[in-house]
Amino acid sequence: MNSLERENWLKERKTYIGGTDIGAIIGANPSYRTALDVYLDKTSEGVVEVTSEPAYWGSMLEAVIAEEYSRRTGFEVEVPAGLIRHKERHFIGANIDRWANGRNHILECKTAGFMKAHEWGEVGTDQIPEVYKYQVAYYAAITGVSRVDIAVLIGGQDFRIYQYLKNKEMEDKLIRAAVLFWNKYILTNTPPTPKTDADTAKLFPKGNGLEVRADDTILQKVDMLQDLKVQNSNVEKEIKTLEVEVKNYMQDGELLIDNVGHLRATWKNRKGSKRLDTKSLEEEHNEIYRQYLKEGEAYRVFALKQ
């Protein structure tokens, strides 16, 4: 896919809810992507693609994984012609990785690091990360197939094959979620409620200096937040006090061992980190300091007031 084809593909993605969107819409992995991220992606005018290293290598290795799957299973695989849209709802679509076994089922190709290996269960089952399960179920609902195989290469050397079998209840739920999201948020140009701190920063990046009058409900939440912060502060103080007592007991020792020889704590030497003395640089070489001084992006700071 050349750069122009890639740009057109990214533009087309704004016209439908895809398999990588559905998990975010139902909140499967809010630390990675939320419903608001999907909304902003679909409603923004520009086409911006930020590709991470894992995503890049996942794309690069897709053909390799598909070939190995075919070799191990005996199923022929076929690159799809393009986007597959839902037969009744044009705004629901699937970009599958491969057709398999004469288009009788779908193959999805994944990569994962060693640290994510625990998220993949027994080979041959549907014990895969939740967000992927929603993705393949969504594809099954759109295409009408009863089976999706998931081939994953973990840590670059552990090849596994998993299998999703049709679950109509789950698939209907996902289609309903996509329809609701499209009608309620995209068509009305109304952003969904933020679910994470990152969401609020994206939706409200700059303050306008105006006052907002609090109602009783939000005042109760502010009081709860203040109480929790006080509790957390007290806990942190207690932690620090206990740390000092343990360190004082250890003195010059580096390892703390219990009565049966188990290691309970360490207090080891660590090399000091190197840092740039910006104050001296500014005083002695001001011209160079100013040349490389970069101003960061503005951001909002939230603080509670008594």
Residue-wise pLDDT tens digits, 167-182: 999 999 999 999 999 9
pLDDT one-digit tens code per residue, 184-208? 999 999 999 999 999 999 999 888 8
Instruction: Give me the CATH number covering residue 183.
Output: 3.90.320.10
Q: How many domains does the chain have?
A: 2
Instruction: Mark whether 163 and 220 lie in a shared domain.
Output: no
pLDDT reported for residue 299: 79
Q: Are 98 and 22 in contact (CB under 8 A)?
A: no
pTM for this entry: 0.78
Report the pLDDT value the prediction gives residue 272, as an integer from 0 to 100.
83
Q: How close are the terminal C-alpha atoms of the chain, in Å?
A: 57
**Residues 210, 126: one domain?**
no
Residues 134 and 16 in one domain: yes
Do residues 181 and 211 share a domain?
Answer: no
Comparing CA positions, the residue from 171, 153, 172, 170 lying closest to residue 162 is 153
**CA distance to 47, 164, 198, 211, 298, per residue, from 208 (Å):** 28, 50, 19, 9, 13
At 57, give phi and psi (nearest 5°): -70, -30
Among 203, 226, 197, residue whose Cα is nearest residue 305: 226
> Which of these three, 159, 181, 201, is where a domain ends?
201
* The pLDDT value given to residue 2: 62
Spell 92-106 as b/e; 16+ CB within 10 A means b: bbbbbbbbbbeeebb
Same domain, 119 and 164: yes
Q: How far is CA 215 from CA 45, 191, 230, in A?
A: 35, 22, 23
Instruction: Give the model's pLDDT for residue 116.
Output: 92
Residue range(s) defining the domain that contains residue 93? 3-201
Q: What is the average pLDDT across 103-111?
A: 97
Instruction: Give pLDDT, residue 48.
Output: 66
Question: Does 190 share its domain with 210?
Answer: no
Confidence category of residue 35, pLDDT binned at 50, 70, 90: very high
Same domain flag for 214 and 168:
no
| Residue where a domain terminates, one of 146, 172, 201 | 201
Nearest to 92 by CA among 16, 33, 30: 16
Whether residues 19 and 110 share a domain: the answer is yes
- Residue 296 CB contacts under 8 Å (≥ 6 apart), including other chains: none
Q: Tell me which residue has tokens 């948020």.
A: 185
Considering the domain architecture, whether residues 51 and 165 belong to the same structural domain is answered as: yes
> What pLDDT is attached to residue 29?
87
Q: How far apart are CA 42 and CA 89, in angstroms?
A: 16
What is the spatial distance between Cα 60 and Cα 51, in angstroms, rounded to a whole number? 12
284, pLDDT greater than 80: yes
Cα separation of 22 and 173, whole Å? 11
Q: What percent of the chain has pLDDT over 70?
A: 97
Q: What is the mean pLDDT of residues 247-267?
A: 93
Whether 167 and 306 share a structural domain:
no
* The last residue of a domain, from among 148, 167, 201: 201
Indicate if 136 and 35 belong to the same structural domain: yes
Task: Verify that 219 and 299 share a domain, yes or no.
Answer: yes
Of the candidates 130, 160, 105, the one whose C-alpha atom is nearest the C-alpha of residue 26 is 130
pLDDT in tens, 216-250: 999 999 999 999 999 999 999 999 999 999 999 99
CB atoms within 10 A of CB 284: 10
Nearest to 109 by CA among 154, 55, 60, 152: 152
**DSSP code at position 201:** H
Give the residues across from 95 on adjacent strands: none
At 85, is the secondary structure helix, strand, or coil? Answer: strand
